[in-house]
Structure 1
């Protein structure tokens, strides 16, 4: 039996009036999911433990089968693992987004507003140049920067302290003063990064082309080095992660899973969906893997952008370019397989950030297809009556692990 998860990051949402009161998931054209849902179990699952913040970090730990209450030590340490940062036990890792701040003349730094948490989904190539400009001025003991993917980078603070810092996507459009670090050096580095980046040639060119400038470092997601038990040891399955996002790659590295490298995988709306799908098929059919996790970031990014049209497009791409071709290829192979499709958390268009509400799942088993009238969306998943209150236990159900000690 082969097992594959298709994770549509932030795919769940709220009913939207302009979609006739439907959510994007129920409104989008998803023929592959529509056909699959008639043969699958659907239901709702709570991926965010009560009292914890609704991030992709805690949520994806749950989906992969790790109880966030036991294993979550911060978001950025997981990303640091992905990009090979040599973290010590006394190090603090922080996400370093390169964001777009407003650029009004004559106002102090603290009065500026966050306009875009991703600087227009800037490319890794351009953003690495910008980060190196920051590093030339600010990379000194005990602070060291590391290049990640697109706008997502890492800061290591040696012998530092964990400070509660605000994700930039949670405060889009707001004045930054209430959300700046209390630590004086972190504050000063953010302010200096704005001065370094605002007139950089790359940003001058971006403005000329109508793109958001990537003009400031924003620190958040602080935490200590994580320690996850091996996924293979606890499940008996050899697993591979297929994602463009350092966070997911870091979870995989921490769990001892392999990570596929897919050319053109960006984490944006126009990522290489076909390449990700083929990587999963090859891993499962040719390379002896038992478990593949295909992470699609685009629905979440479009939710943060507040774009109904683009979120619909992201969901339709997931259906047409991942779910459909994936199931066709697995059916042709003759391999028995189980497929789990779900979001990690909602990212409602209305608020442009994550919430902790439960999310819908679809679980298909090629060896015992069900027969029902359900469609895969939030409302019908609720009506199904199936509910898993502790999200990390869904992986046991999916992998058909009847009894085990939860790690």
Structure 2
């Protein structure tokens, strides 16, 4: 038996008027998920523990079977694992986004955050801009490391875990009340705007109709993580397929194989089919027991507040990932169990994450159920199936304590 999780990051949502009061998941044309739903278990799972922030960090830890209240030490340290940064026990890692701030104000504190991803900046462009920041701001205390797209890393030697606001939570708002209280962090953010706003690359980006990537933004502080081995916990060899450093970092910390897919970039136009084929290969040719296929696009489109693009991302997940992987496994006569779910909702209404339970669908190629469900938020609730502690969901996938 092979085991698969296909996770559409931020795929869950709320009913939207322009979609006829349907959620994007309800509205999207998802022929493969519709087919699977007729033979699957449907339900709701609460991936965010009470009192914790609804982030992809806590939620994906839970989906992978790690209780966030036990294992979570911050988002950025997990990304540091992916980037290959060797953290000391006294280090604090900070996410260092490259964001778009408004320009017309004369005072940094009065600017608004317009785009947390700077028009989904390419890693190539971000490398040039981060290097300009590094040349001016890096010291023995603060070190900068390149990540992917707009997501980068700063390591603070002998730092402290400080409360910092994620930029995607305050889109369109004046930033003054959300800046770090720690003077060095705030000063670096202010100086970064002066370095980046009129950088030649940003002037080129503006001419192309792209948002300037004109400031760094610190958030997600945390200390060195310590995850138990995924294989030791579950007696399964696991692999991770994701374009996002956070997910790759969780995998590194858990001793899972990280599979690189060319063209997988975490955007709406990522290499969906490449991910599906890589998942099939790691299960069959490499003989791994479990693969986690993470797709970031629905979350990014939720943050952008684009209804049509979120629907497009969900349809691509269905047609280019789930369908392709299902067909490959079926054609090879491989027995498998596939779990499909989001990690958290990213509603268009608020353009950020919420803690509401999310719908899951569990399909078993050897024990096809006869149901009349559709896979969406409302039908998952009607099913009556509810898992309170998200970190136990993987036991259901692996049939732990099931007859």
TM-score, normalised on structure 2? 0.99
2:198 aligned residue? 199
State the SS of the aligned residue for 1:364: strand
1:271 aligned residue? 270
Between Structure 1 and Structure 2, how many residues are aligned? 402
Runs of 4+ in 1 over 6 A off after TM superposition: none
1:82 aligned residue? 82
1:324 aligned residue? 323
For residues 148 and 87 of structure 2, what CA distance do their matches in structure 1 show?
Answer: 19
Per-residue deviation, 1:401: 1.9
1:335 aligned residue? 334
For residues 356 and 151 of structure 1, what CA distance do their matches in structure 2 show?
Answer: 24
Equivalent residue runs for 1:194-233 within 5 Å: 194-233=193-232
State the SS of the aligned residue for 2:392: helix
State the SS of the aligned residue for 1:221: strand
Gaps of 5+ in 1: none
State the SS of the aligned residue for 1:43: strand
> Does structure 2 conserve the Cα–Cα contact (< 8 Å) formed by 1:149 and 1:245?
yes
For residues 356 and 113 of structure 1, what CA distance do their matches in structure 2 show?
Answer: 26
> Does structure 2 conserve the Cα–Cα contact (< 8 Å) formed by 1:235 and 1:401?
no
Equivalent residue runs for 1:25-104 within 5 Å: 25-104=25-104
For residues 315 and 304 of structure 2, what CA distance do their matches in structure 1 show?
Answer: 17
State the SS of the aligned residue for 1:97: strand
For residues 366 and 67 of structure 2, what CA distance do their matches in structure 1 show?
Answer: 29
State the SS of the aligned residue for 2:96: strand
1:122 aligned residue? 121
For residues 160 and 401 of structure 2, what CA distance do their matches in structure 1 show?
Answer: 41
For residues 388 and 249 of structure 1, what CA distance do their matches in structure 2 show?
Answer: 26
State the SS of the aligned residue for 1:381: helix
- CA deviation vs aligned residue, 1:157-183 (integer Å, no higher than 9, x gap): 000001000000000000000000000
Per-residue deviation, 1:252: 0.3
Per-residue deviation, 1:402: 2.0
- CA deviation vs aligned residue, 1:281-313 (integer Å, no higher than 9, x gap): 000011110000000000000000000000000
Per-residue deviation, 1:51: 0.6
TM-score, normalised on structure 1? 0.98
Per-residue deviation, 1:154: 0.1
Equivalent residue runs for 1:217-256 within 5 Å: 217-256=216-255
1:380 aligned residue? 379
Per-residue deviation, 1:315: 0.2
Gaps of 5+ in 2: none
Per-residue deviation, 1:86: 1.2
1:179 aligned residue? 178
Per-residue deviation, 1:58: 0.2
1:138 aligned residue? 137
2:364 maps to 1:344:
no
> Does structure 2 conserve the Cα–Cα contact (< 8 Å) formed by 1:285 and 1:333?
no
Per-residue deviation, 1:277: 0.6
- CA deviation vs aligned residue, 1:183-220 (integer Å, no higher than 9, x gap): 00000000000000001111000100110000000000
For residues 334 and 58 of structure 2, what CA distance do their matches in structure 1 show?
Answer: 32
1:156 aligned residue? 155
For residues 275 and 392 of structure 1, what CA distance do their matches in structure 2 show?
Answer: 28
- CA deviation vs aligned residue, 1:124-171 (integer Å, no higher than 9, x gap): 001011000000011101000000000000000000001000000000
- CA deviation vs aligned residue, 1:38-58 (integer Å, no higher than 9, x gap): 000000000000110000000
